[in-house]
Structure 1
Amino acid sequence: MRLPSGKVRVASAFLALSIIMSGCASTGGIAPQQTALDAAALDTGAAVRAAARSARWPDADWWRTYGDTQLDSLVSAAVAGNPTLAAADARVREAQSLAGVAAAALAPHVEGNLSITREHWADNPLYYGPGELADQTTWNNTGTLGFSYHLDLWGGDAHAHERALDAAHERAANARAAQLELEVNLVRAYVDFSKQYALRDIATDTLARQRELVALAQRRLAGGVGTQLEVSQAQAPLPEYERRIEALNEAIELDRNQLAALTGQGPGAGAALTRPALSLDASVALPSALPAELIGHRPDVVAARWAVAGAARGIDVAHAAFYPNINLMASLGGFAAGGPLFQFLHAANGSWTAGPALSLPIFEGGALRSRLGAADAGYDEAVEHYNATVVAALKQIADQIVQLHSLAAQQGDAERSASFAERSYRLAQVGFKRGLSDYVNVVVSETQWLGAQQSVAQVHAARLAAYASLMGALGGGLAAPADGPNAGTMQPSPHGTLGIDALGRHASVAAHGAGEPR
């Protein structure tokens, strides 16, 4: 008894569905174990909470606040010529190209093959028999045109493309982080360059005063009111002061070399640098923002978010491998052995094929679950790296705020100390000139004044450097929270909705560029 054709089709469809479902391998309950921190829920500490809320986010050229055109030129040269940044840019371009490779899997593939050969057939009945080709020279040509298209029902290819795009985003954010680090390091080196000049001025002034005291002690000895001990005491510090000046000259030259290297140039480029003219009138207040936005401006945090998003897509790719694959395939070709050169193009020699190709993961020795487990572990690692980056970012911001407030107070104290020490030195010097005070008082007060002046210079330089570090901690104007992925793309797709999710994303992924956030 024959079944109606409709029932045959239904039975065939049911059988095919049963085969497909039975071919889906089990995931064994493997899933990620870590969760990304909610930065807004973290306690930022008293320093951040107490900071003023009137300032804006740093500009991309935040270093111009120092008001030094030479520094502006150095930063521009460093960004344009530093080998580290050039390598980072190359990594970004590499990731963008790899994303293009992943995108190609979403498109139909058409391939052509052509083989044109001239062949002589042996006159050997053991192989060919007494046929027409025996001892003949003929054309043996083939030409085929093949078409294939992976339906990607479960979104594996789409997620692989998204993962590649996320990797490109991550590398772009890391490149911005490298640029910011370079800018901060260059500004801090330039601040040190300025500090060495200031310390050399202090040492030079101290040496000049000491030489005046030596001359005064010698005049007092010649006038019969001084002693050889006073002259010896005045001469004793001279070599040490001269050594300090030479050491500071060395530090200045080393800073020249360092600045030249940061700009990607040889040491000779540093010889043209003149004395810095730094000033700093910028506010150190924080912008009005939630903690989540506070750290969201940092390129390293943005990069860590993209790494989590990419790892989530890796889980989706591993999940898709548990389901059957269906490819649509077709070919058209011509084949001819013998006859004219273009015999293979004749219709009589043509052939074609068309149809779907189905592959099922039935037994794979646990390889699929192992790959899924590796993807889950990679996601957990990316999440914990993001969490650690968030915690470190908040700490760095709080540290710089604490340091800047402390340095502001220290600078006032150091300036008052230098004023008192100068007054004591002046009084001791006048007393010594008039014979009312021992020279030891001059030595003690001069040493105190020297130390106080050095402290003022060092505290001022530390404040300039701390401001640069704060600008780096806040992101340096190179990134914004919108540059990163949204919270939804940082999670793996729900199991069981892979196909729906993937099919809905095909168009958006194809239009999504490596420089634009999802």
Structure 2
Amino acid sequence: MLACRFAGLGLLGSLAACASLAPSEEASLAKLDMPAAWSRGTAVAAAAAGGSAVSTASLLAWWQRFDDAQLDALEGQALQANTTVQGARAALGQARALRDLAAAALWPNVTGQASAQRGTVGGRSSGKNFQLGADASWALDLFGARRAALEAGEAGLAASQAGLGDVQVQIAAEVALNYILLRTSQVRSLIAAENLASQEETLQITLWRQQAGLVTALEAEQARAAVEQSRSLIPLLQTSSGQSLHALAVLTGRPPAALLEMAEFGAVGSALKVPQAREVLSLNIPAETLRQRADVRAAEYQVAAALAREAQAQAQRFPSFAIGGSLGWSAATVGALGNSNAVLGSLLASVSLPLFDGGALSAQLRVQQAALTQAQVLYRAAVLSALQQVEDALLALQGARLRLASLRLAADAASSAAQLARQRYSSGLIDFQTVLETQRTQFATQDGVASASAEVGSDQVRLFKALGGGWSPAVEAPNR
């Protein structure tokens, strides 16, 4: 008879789960007037031929568009060994465990026990007693409080997974930006060294002309000042390179000095260049971009979690029901435990109704309602910030490309002018001031080309980051 009662516990619990109270309202997400297209998407896409459409696959490893094996290796190391990424993965594991904890609350709690006792009275044995039994209890979720807690755990797990994706996006961009800064400093150091060599040749020519009485000491000192001024820039650029190497090492989970061998790459000469992506993406509409953004997804899941917690707080104001029981055997010998007379059992049903709590449950409901409002506002802020970041990146990339094109023309003209000026100065056809000015212009324009190239590469990285590149929801989806 008691076994039939315990079987009825499972049926009643299943019916209670089906009768859980659904949320009273759908998620009230922020309503935004989404733009139909990006304001500068067409202009940027037209800047390079062969653009490809944005997709999750193309954005997942966007750094491969820079065609740099060293950058690929650093990105892979950072996404595995970076301490912030590892911390986000641990937080994801914690969120998964919390979800499982909420799921376990929907099931009955069964415990078993066994005991053996031997007693004496006045020094004589009073007999033995053996007991074997099990206790079971089940809090029925008639109004959906526990199921709402599970929904909140599911949403929290999804938000944590998206949070990990957002960390991956941030770290991937930081690695690329520091790598571009490293290569830019090395290229600028190479340009400075080449111009220093040219100025040293000019200084030698000036000293020869001074010995011949063709120029005065003024021209010689001006040439020497130009040489030392150019020489003074090289240590600054080397410092910048070293600091970028330190940042890259830490981003990849290693000590700051672990990548010093990359500093020798600057001596390769023609192989050294400022990284830039080989093509420009043909952008999707803003709404599609927002679906790719990990931070927007995380904010959306936080709204869902807040809504579930509000439903849980609402359900806790209703009565709670629980059923339980125990089934056991007690006998003087182990063999007697099988007798029907040794069977002990009980069944208990209880109901609990909050009558007076000083307004605690109502206050808790208002707390969750306020938290839901905050989550909705944060979701709206995440959407607006995402739109701004993409528009800013598009605008910056468009301007950087135009600036780079002009500086390249200026650098070509300045190099030709500097070469002609030095030849004419050697022949005594022009004065030293013209040579000095053309050399300064040549160095400034060549250095400007390197800096503008870095701006283009960095703006490309920021655009990939703004588009949500560097993660995919399918890569580390929550286990359900």
Report the TM-score when normalising by structure 2: 0.84
Cross-structure match for 2:3 = none
2:40 aligned with 1:47: yes
Partner residue of 2:17?
A: none
Is the alpha carbon distance of 1:119 and 1:413 closer, same or farther for their aligned partners in structure 2, counting shifts above 3 Å? farther
* Corresponding residue for residue 208 of structure 1: 197
Q: Using the alignment, how far apart are the partners of 2:367 and 2:44 within structure 1?
A: 43
Give yes or no for contact 2:160–2:298 (8 Å, CA) kept in 1.
yes
Residues 350-399 of structure 1: CA distance to partner in whole angstroms, max 9, x if unpaired? 32112432221222221111111111111111111111111110000000
Following TM superposition, by how much is the alpha carbon of 1:341 offset from its aligned partner in structure 2, in angstroms?
6.3
From 439, 450, 473, the counterpart of 2:443: 450
Residues 394 and 456 of structure 1, relative CA distance in 2, 3 Å threshold: same
Counterpart CA distance in 2 for 1:179 and 1:188 is: 14
Please state how far the C-alpha of 1:315 moved relative to its aligned partner.
0.8
Residue 288 (structure 1) shift? 3.1
TM-superposed deviation, 1:439: 1.4
Is contact 1:44-1:394 (8 Å) kept? no
Identity %: 27
The 3-state SS of whatever aligns with 1:46 is coil
* Partner SS, residue 327 of structure 1: strand
Is residue 2:370 matched to residue 1:387?
no
Aligned to 1:186, the other structure's residue is in SS state helix
Is residue 410 of structure 2 the alignment partner of residue 417 of structure 1? yes
- CA distance in 1 between counterparts of 2:479 and 2:329 reads 46
CA gap 1:352/1:156 in 2 versus in 1, 3 angstroms: same
Contact 2:324 2:348 (C-alpha < 8 Å) held by counterparts: yes
| 2:276 counterpart letter in structure 1 | L
Q: Deviations over 1:148-174 (max 9, x none)?
A: 233311111111111111111111111
For structure 2, the 5+ residue unaligned runs are 1-23, 46-50, 267-271
Structure 1 counterpart of 2:321, from 320, 326, 329: 326
Which of 444, 450, 454 pairs up with 1:461? Answer: 454
| TM superposition shift of 1:475 | 0.9
Label 1:470 to 1:333 Cα distance change in 2 as closer, same or farther (>3 A).
same
Q: Deviations over 1:71-113 (max 9, x none)?
A: 1111111112112111111111111112111111122322112
- Separation in structure 2 between the aligned mates of residue 384 and residue 300 of structure 1, nearest angstrom: 14
Q: Which AA in structure 1 matches 2:305?
A: G
Is residue 176 from structure 1 mapped to residue 165 from structure 2 by the alignment? yes
Deviations 1:173-206 (A, max 9, x none): 1111111111110011110111011100111011
Q: Distance in 1 between matches of 2:52 and 2:252?
A: 34
2:306 corresponds to which letter in structure 1?
A
Q: Which residue of 1 aligns with 2:182?
A: 193
Q: Verify: 1:401 aligned to 2:394, yes or no.
A: yes
CA contact (8 A) 2:59 2:464 kept: no
1:147 and 1:329 in contact (8 A); partners too: yes
Shift of 1:266: 2.1
Task: Please list every run of 5 or more consecutive structure 1 residues that lacks an aligned counterpart in the other structure.
Answer: 1-30, 124-133, 485-512
Please give the alpha-carbon distance, in whole angstroms, between the structure 2 residues aligned to 1:413 and 1:311.
52
1:217-263 per-position Cα deviation (integer Å, ceiling 9, x unaligned) = 11112223222222111112233222211222222222222211111
Q: CA RMSD in A?
A: 2.8
SS at match of 1:159: helix
TM-score (norm 1): 0.79
In the alignment, which residue of structure 2 is the partner of 1:504?
Answer: none
Q: Which residue number corresponds to residue 226 of structure 2?
A: 237
Q: Distance in 2 between matches of 1:50 and 1:442?
A: 40
8 Å contact from structure 1 (residues 329, 356) kept in 2: yes
1:143-158 equivalent positions in 2, closer than 5 A: 143-158=132-147
| Counterpart mapping for 1:184-333 below 5 A | 184-273=173-262, 274-275=265-266, 279-289=275-285, 291-333=286-328
* Aligned equivalents of 1:342, 1:118: Cα separation in 2: 16
Amino acid paired to 1:403? A
Structure 2 vs 1, CA of residues 483 and 270 (structure 1 numbering), >3 Å: closer, same or farther?
A: closer
Cα pair distance change 1:386/1:67, threshold 3 Å: same
